Amino acid sequence: MNAKPKKHFGQHFLHDRHYVDRIVGAIAPRPADTVVEIGPGEGAMTFPLLKAAGRLTAIELDAELIPGLEARAASIGQLQVIRSDILKVDISRLATELGAERLRIAGNLPYYISSPILFHCVDHAAAIEDMHFMLQKEVVDRMAAAPGSKIYGRLSVMLQLRCQVTPLFIVPPGAFRPPPKVDSAVVRMQPLPPEQLPDADSRRLHDIVKAAFAQRRKTLGNTLKGTLEPAAISRAGIDPGCRAETLSPADFIRLAQA
């Protein structure tokens, strides 16, 4: 298609066949799958996924790319392109409309808005079987970071409370047009089964995690002041003198329960 990348959409089109094949191999789509691609761009991943699954729904904001995608897909399989911002798409409702129990979602996400897209998808995790995303490597590192790491933070905790996060491989800048200034990485996210989900109020949990990491160098007794008093933190079995980065996701569940 050779479309001109638009900077305001954060477009970096994947063109390296080696990495396309690796991503599609990691997803391993099956004919019975209902695959949804976020931001198909020129279709580098779209058409191999469509060939394997037989049908695919793509969500694309750039209207100029849609005719080319539809034209090329005609001889490959059944492609439905929805022109929309993914943040405005009700993913659970989409699964119902597509007649799917759960969706398999993939995408090369715009780096400037990747975190909101991740949280949006996780909000609909019950309707999703798995997710495979290409993101800035730094973001993938943060998503999978363990407690005690300097990059462990709100993103790590909130995603790991809902999904198993598995970094897969790095994709160099030269695999894209135009090349980004940073390395990219592919990550797999598998929503946890219901019995492993947090047994705590989701809004309360969100507020505590956000407050705890707002000032990383301060102790929980300080960062949670007004949200959770030191005595309540202690009753949860956690030292109020600890910093947020030392707590596991399960520790934050105990704080929310307190």
- Annotated binding-site ranges: 12, 14, 39, 60, 85, 108
User: What is the Cα–Cα distance from 92 to 61, expressed in whole angstroms?
Assistant: 19
- Contact call for residues 11 and 41 (beta carbons, < 8 A): yes
Angle (CA) 112-113-117 rounded to 5° is 155
HSE toward the beta carbon, residue 201, CA cutoff 13 A: 8
Question: What gap in Å lies between CA 73 and CA 23, rounded to an integer?
Answer: 19
The DSSP letter of residue 168 is E
Q: Which residues are part of a known binding site for S-adenosyl-L-methionine?
A: 12, 14, 39, 60, 85, 108
Strand pairing category for 128-136 and 184-191: antiparallel
